[in-house]
Structure 1
Amino acid sequence: MFCRLFASLSLAITVITASLLSSSTARLHADEGMYLFNDLPRELLKERYDFDPSQKWADDLRLASVRFNSGGSGSFVSSNGLVLTNHHVASDTLQKVSTKERNLIRDGFLANSFDEEIKAPDLELNVLIEIVDVTQRIDEAVTNKTDAEAAAKQRQAAFNAIESESFDKTGLRSDVVTLFGGAQYHLYRYKKYTDVRLVWAPETAAAFFGGDADNFEYPRYNLDATLMRVYENDKPAVIDHFLEWSSKPVAENDLVFVSGHPGRTQRIFTVEALEYLRDHRLPFVLDYLRRKEILLQQYRLESEEAARRGRDELFGIQNARKAYTGMLAGLQDPQTIADRRRVQDRLIAAAGANPDLNPLTQAWQEIAEIQQEKAAQLSRSVSLRSDVFQYALSILLLAQEDQKPNADRLAEYTDASRDSLLTRLTSEAPLYDDLQRIELADEIALLLERRGMSDPLVVEVLAGRSPQQVAAEIIDGTSVDEFAKRRELIEGEPDLIFGSDDPAMRLARLMEPEYRRLRLIDDGLSEREKQAYAKIARVTTEIEGTTGYPDATFTLRLAFGTVKGYPENGSFVKPTTDFAGAFEHAAEHQGQEDFELPESWMRAKQEGKIDLSTQLNFVCTADIIGGNSGSPVVDRGGALVGLIFDGNIQSLTSDYLYTDQQARAVSVSGVGIRQALEAIYNAKDLADQLGK
């Protein structure tokens, strides 16, 4: 399930905000590419697959595609607002609406009427309405080309102004997106839905059948699907653009398309940047993940309720740990670096022989130096990953940034970003004191481990106390964990925040100067890296041409591929599985908890309700990464045939290297979802809404 973005953990690999050219056309693998919807590979599709997507086909698919602010993708699948996504994308919501008495993430849920649908406390869905090229305006705004810090401020001011003007004009969420290393800047306008309600979710035993053992493996037999519904004015929204639902299973060699929101790729990264990931960043992240995994495993042993409270976060951490382990293994293969070095050396040599391009070759050295500076910054962070602290720091920063002109604010605190920020800050999702206490204590302990006990900031934070004592005093004494109190602080006078004696707010005020200092350094490094990669992008384009697609930016992209099996360990892995295989897989692993299908499945099988030959999962060669979870898979006609939920183990290098030899995207079959709704969950009325 590497496709999910772990936004709540803030654990994604830190990459430059620029989106960069991927590789030359000559070096493209067969189905490589995450293409912009305003620049689809029409000639490529026509030449390779005799398919020419019409503008209507592209527009209908774009407007039916949905982005989840919790990290993931989805799609409209009915005219009355049904949204299809993964169970593991929806698990954040399932966790927040569960209680001690009603564990929806474990037991599943089905609303039999609109009145029974459960509202998500803080979920925002985005639909891409329009893309506007604002490259010229951004370029003209950056007049200081020599001072990275000044250039970054000018560029951010231009971003803020454009986004604010767009929001005021249209009322749509407006984000400026950097593409091709700063060669292009596009304004993305989104319609937002913030009234989102849970309709159906299967049991975790069905959605994550096989557990961690089967994660990133294939064959798979998972029903990793959930249905939600968007509302407007307290009524199911009327949706004009939704996907038809195919009644046919996919077949080998079928051409399919994936419309989703891949998170971040780094396919133009230099050898030195990849070595930084291999030697510094990924080991650093993995150490953190392993620490948190142990912490949460211990917490969940305390009681059945503790197990419920910590389940979703632990799942996310374990999933990330396994994904990053695979990424690191790919970079630790000497051939990966050797191949990239050959390409890099060829580019540098060709540019060096060209008088116009030769000055640009210093960009590679600049990036190498930046990696050393980034490595030195790794352990300095003061962004404690605790919900209570993050709320307090965000509220403090909001009050401070509100006192500045919009153009001078941090990106997430501008007028255009305010509604989305407030949705997060005023979430009614419950926080649990026992879990918050151990997590904050561990974050403070990690802070002193990284910075040292004699660090002045650490001395101030501890003030003669242990991390556990500090955390206990903050969690026991704060009211920032109450959404009503957070709203009161946000809507009140700034002095209520600046002078608050709430212990969480005091900690935020203590940390804020160092947070800003480090952020300024990081922004400066990012700007220098962006400018260097822009030069490399120019060299690549001049010498080898362009692929037509930029690196991923958690914005809407189109990928394509074919339904196709692959060789592994001397045998051939077939591209599809069925319900019969799921029951056989369970029988083969009898006695192992993660391979026990839920009672609803066993009962439906005993009663003969399930057509066991129905397709359940399939794989294809489409180019996907984290963020594509929940992406619809459609056929040539634009009808839904599947739902992306994972990649196999061989796909984990896709952040920096695409290959179609064995790497595959894994989907739940559309016919399998319908079969489950009708035969297992007795939800025929809901199934009848699909595609209508």
Structure 2
Amino acid sequence: MTPSTSTFVLGDEGMYLFNDLPRQLLQERYGFQPSDKWADELRLSSVRFNSGGSGSFVSSSGLVLTNHHVASDTLQKLSSEDRNLIRDGFLARSTEDELKAPDLELNVLIEIIDVTDRINAAVTEKNNPDVSAKQRQGVIASIESESLDATGLRSDVVTLFGGARYHLYRYKKYTDVRLVWAPETAAAFFGGDADNFEYPRYNLDATLMRVYEDGKPAVIKHFLRWSEIPVSDGDLVFVSGHPGRTQRIFTVEALEYLRDKRLPFVLDYLRRKEILFQQYQLEGNEAARRGRDELFGIQNARKAYTGMLAGLQDPQTIATRRGRQHRLMTAASNDPQLKPLVSAWKEIADIQQEKAEQLTRSVSLRSDLFQLAISILLLAKEDQKPNGDRLAEYTDASRDSLLTRLTSPAPLYNDLQRVKLADEIALLLERRGMDDELVQEVLAGRSPREVAAEIVDQSKLADPEVRRQLIDGGINAVLGSDDPAMRLARIIEPEYRRYRAIEDQLSEREKQAYAKIARVITAIEGTGGYPDATFTLRLAFGTVKGYVENATEIQPTTDFAGAYEHAAAHAGQDDFDLPESWMNAKSKVDLSTQLNFVSTADIIGGNSGSPVVNREGKLVGLIFDGNIQSLTSDYLYTDQQARAVSVAGVGIREALRSIYDAESLASELGQ
């Protein structure tokens, strides 16, 4: 069958690779074709946060713009009982006042190299998932290590199109990152959980950081200029960011597994954790501060997954995908060259059954102290192996980033660690039963709370220097340690590895099956598409556009006047109280200034903090959310009502000048 030249996309769908931009599509639809210079400037101005999220350089002296909620992990780690940066915000009046983040890594994509042929040539045992997985893992580790040695750049091999393509991404890393400005949570998350994933919005979900090199603000050649003109209805805009994970190549059976097994399982877990953290926060003001960031993340995820599940529970969603899948399988079955690939759909269906059986078997206890311990243990043991035989996150190319995390000076609070570890051990007991051998060994006749209390109170791993000494001491120090957290890690490790091996085998089989499906899709629907998101840099586009909801026309933009009106309309509700700084500055604010806007750009989680630029490549906005209708975007894009929500660039500058008295910072933007 001769491949079509058309692209099977809907509306403004697409998270496109920077080395394969949809130039023809943009020219045909919008009369715009990005030049190489335009694309390179945008790529080199875009930033990935290793904590999850996106950002952009917005000045030649290293200013980085991202969301408040992307920066909240750093804000939390820089806070203390006497200084609550998440709640109260922060402004550095000079570079000397800027606060160094304890463990933040920012990545800038420098180069993309196609390494598909080399990887495919190295995988010779495709019919044996165990062997092929090791072969693939080995050649990927070699490519990454060779690239790191040759360039000094972070080097990651990225799987694309379900395993049909592999690209090497090279990143410049910045690890000296400092906080410059953050608004109060009351402004950044105005409207709270009630308004989350809704629209209209009136949020200043923005934060500024600065990267340093050799102890000085970095000199940045590629950064975004700042547009002084607010967006208007119908404007074409572009989003350059790092969408996390999508499942748009997923088969019907894979989506049914998500709908019936995986998402309900995850939601049960999130609801459990939400209650846990809510109860912990009731212990006092300091507990409320310590637990705030994690509770926010849990609540945000709970609402997002609820929306995803609701979309999959709409019969029309599966019916639409089933129709497309049937067309693809029929067309492939009628083509002698493609027919052998049709078996991939059954392979995917079989894998979903095996995944369901493994859902409750994970032993990766989600406790900071345990995660540090198991990572240190695995690092010591993986270091004994050739680089190509190691688990992916313990290879030479991954080592620097791993060590940054393992030696972070960010505080660990014993009371919170006890609560988290006790609940994780209790959950292990609930899922496996009291008669399970691993459970028996972990408990050793004690309750989950007793085990957690002993480990947290007696462990020394909260001290980063102790962790550093263990790492430097290597395998003998790690295996000889009598630290109770390390003892727990040694008990858990065999089962962790067994479960990980099953996961890796299933993943390898899925990669091979989806690679076949990708070949069918390319042959039948064309080559102009885009791969599923992989938390790597992508370009999306769309127009500023309102929508109709419940027979009401939702306008595409909001302004500061609307924020004050929204607060007044919800007087007495804490989440709708604007901060004192806003109320005191009301007379100075140009209330007509644009604050938020929506567009049809195709975004998901991970895009938070992404810059929004216009045709000239100037920054006009900052992605911070999607509306509730966009939550199906992990597996299905639609522009009927789904919208990406942004903070307006003009709104950020107006707030800095009129509310936060930060004229010099406002003037630095785009300069």
Q: Residue 644 of structure 1: which of 614, 623, 628 is its match?
A: 623
Matches of 1:50 and 1:205 in 2, distance apart? 41
Matches of 1:129 and 1:41 in 2, distance apart? 20
Matches of 1:122 and 1:263 in 2, distance apart? 21
Matches of 1:351 and 1:229 in 2, distance apart? 52
2:90 is matched with which residue?
Answer: 109
Instruction: Indicate yes or no: 2:586 matched with 1:610.
Output: no
Matches of 2:5 and 2:52 in 1, distance apart? 30
Matches of 1:408 and 1:273 in 2, distance apart? 30
Provide the secondary structure at the position in 2 that maps to 1:624: coil
Alpha-carbon RMSD? 0.9
2:13 is matched with which residue?
Answer: 32
**Residue deviations 1:420-446 (CA, integer Å, cap 9, x gap):** 000000000000000000100000000
Q: State the 1:27 CA deviation.
A: 3.9
Output aligned runs, 1:344-383, within 5 Å.
344-383=325-364
2:540 is matched with which residue?
Answer: 559
Residues 9, 529 of structure 2: 8 Å contact kept: no
1:79 is matched with which residue?
Answer: 60
Q: Residue 652 of structure 2: which of 673, 680, 683 is its match?
A: 673
Matches of 1:369 and 1:548 in 2, distance apart? 27
1:659 is matched with which residue?
Answer: 638
Residues 39, 548 of structure 1: 8 Å contact kept: no
2:40 is matched with which residue?
Answer: 59
**Residue deviations 1:52-75 (CA, integer Å, cap 9, x gap):** 111000000000000000000000
Q: Give structure 2 stretches of 5+ with no counterpart.
A: none
Matches of 1:157 and 1:475 in 2, distance apart? 37
1:600 is matched with which residue?
Answer: 581
Instruction: Indicate yes or no: 2:149 matched with 1:149.
Output: no
1:312 is matched with which residue?
Answer: 293
1:225 is matched with which residue?
Answer: 206
Q: Residue 169 of structure 1: which of 138, 150, 155 is its match?
A: 150
Q: State the 1:181 CA deviation.
A: 2.2
Matches of 1:541 and 1:614 in 2, distance apart? 46
Matches of 1:581 and 1:612 in 2, distance apart? 8
Partner amino acid for 2:163?
A: G
Instruction: Indicate yes or no: 2:348 matched with 1:340.
Output: no
Partner amino acid for 1:442?
A: D
Residues 48, 241 of structure 2: 8 Å contact kept: yes
Matches of 1:342 and 1:418 in 2, distance apart? 45
**Residue deviations 1:92-141 (CA, integer Å, cap 9, x gap):** 00000000001000000000011100000000000000011111111111
2:393 is matched with which residue?
Answer: 412
**Residue deviations 1:153-191 (CA, integer Å, cap 9, x gap):** 000100000000000010000000111122211100000
Q: Residue 247 of structure 1: which of 208, 228, 231 is its match?
A: 228
Q: Residue 598 of structure 2: which of 612, 619, 622 is its match?
A: 619
Between stretches 178-187 and 637-646, larger displacement belongs to: 178-187
Q: CA 1:348 to 1:24, structure 2 compared with 1: closer, same or farther past 3 Å? A: farther
Matches of 1:685 and 1:184 in 2, distance apart? 46
1:96 is matched with which residue?
Answer: 77
Matches of 1:24 and 1:117 in 2, distance apart? 52
Matches of 1:574 and 1:243 in 2, distance apart? 27
2:492 is matched with which residue?
Answer: 511
Matches of 1:686 and 1:147 in 2, distance apart? 58
Output aligned runs, 1:6-25, within 5 Å.
25=6
Residues 156, 169 of structure 2: 8 Å contact kept: yes
1:487 is matched with which residue?
Answer: 468
Matches of 1:59 and 1:138 in 2, distance apart? 27
Q: State the 1:548 CA deviation.
A: 2.5
Partner amino acid for 1:428?
A: P
Provide the secondary structure at the position in 1 that maps to 2:396: coil
Partner amino acid for 1:658?
A: Y
Partner amino acid for 1:494?
A: I
1:634 is matched with which residue?
Answer: 613
Matches of 1:593 and 1:282 in 2, distance apart? 31
Instruction: Indicate yes or no: 2:388 matched with 1:391.
Output: no
**Residue deviations 1:314-340 (CA, integer Å, cap 9, x gap):** 000000000000000000001111111
4+ residue runs over 2 A deviation: 23-27
Residues 35, 550 of structure 1: 8 Å contact kept: yes
Provide the secondary structure at the position in 2 that maps to 1:200: strand
**Aligned residue pairs, count:** 668
Residues 563, 618 of structure 1: 8 Å contact kept: yes
Partner amino acid for 1:663?
A: A
Provide the secondary structure at the position in 2 that maps to 1:218: coil
TM-score of the two chains, using structure 1 as the length reference = 0.96
Matches of 2:274 and 2:421 in 1, distance apart? 15
Partner amino acid for 1:623?
A: D
Matches of 1:272 and 1:614 in 2, distance apart? 48
Residues 42, 52 of structure 1: 8 Å contact kept: yes
Q: Residue 586 of structure 1: which of 567, 576, 579 is its match?
A: 567
Q: State the 1:26 CA deviation.
A: 5.5
Residues 68, 124 of structure 1: 8 Å contact kept: yes
Q: Residue 400 of structure 1: which of 348, 358, 381 is its match?
A: 381
Matches of 1:599 and 1:171 in 2, distance apart? 47
**Residue deviations 1:239-292 (CA, integer Å, cap 9, x gap):** 000000000100000000000000000001111000000000000000000000
Residues 28, 547 of structure 1: 8 Å contact kept: no
Q: Residue 478 of structure 1: which of 459, 463, 471 is its match?
A: 459
Partner amino acid for 1:581?
A: G
Residues 92, 312 of structure 1: 8 Å contact kept: yes
Q: State the 1:546 CA deviation.
A: 3.1
Provide the secondary structure at the position in 2 that maps to 1:355: coil
Matches of 2:221 and 2:243 in 1, distance apart? 25
Residues 162, 249 of structure 2: 8 Å contact kept: no
Matches of 2:228 and 2:472 in 1, distance apart? 51
Provide the secondary structure at the position in 1 that maps to 2:632: coil
Provide the secondary structure at the position in 1 that maps to 2:211: strand
Matches of 2:57 and 2:345 in 1, distance apart? 44
Instruction: Indicate yes or no: 2:387 matched with 1:425.
Output: no
Residues 567, 577 of structure 2: 8 Å contact kept: yes
Provide the secondary structure at the position in 1 that maps to 2:171: strand
Matches of 2:203 and 2:506 in 1, distance apart? 42
Q: Give structure 1 stretches of 5+ with no counterpart.
A: 1-22
Matches of 1:690 and 1:360 in 2, distance apart? 52
Output aligned runs, 1:534-573, within 5 Å.
534-573=515-554
Percent identity, aligned pairs only, is 79
Q: State the 1:547 CA deviation.
A: 3.7
Residues 612, 620 of structure 2: 8 Å contact kept: yes
**Residue deviations 1:217-242 (CA, integer Å, cap 9, x gap):** 00000000000000000000000000
Matches of 1:376 and 1:238 in 2, distance apart? 52
Partner amino acid for 1:543?
A: I
Output aligned runs, 1:518-529, within 5 Å.
518-529=499-510
Instruction: Indicate yes or no: 2:416 matched with 1:435.
Output: yes
Q: State the 1:24 CA deviation.
A: 9.7
1:42 is matched with which residue?
Answer: 23
Q: Residue 266 of structure 2: which of 268, 281, 285 is its match?
A: 285
Output aligned runs, 1:259-274, within 5 Å.
259-274=240-255
2:160 is matched with which residue?
Answer: 179
Partner amino acid for 2:611?
A: P
TM-score of the two chains, using structure 2 as the length reference = 0.99
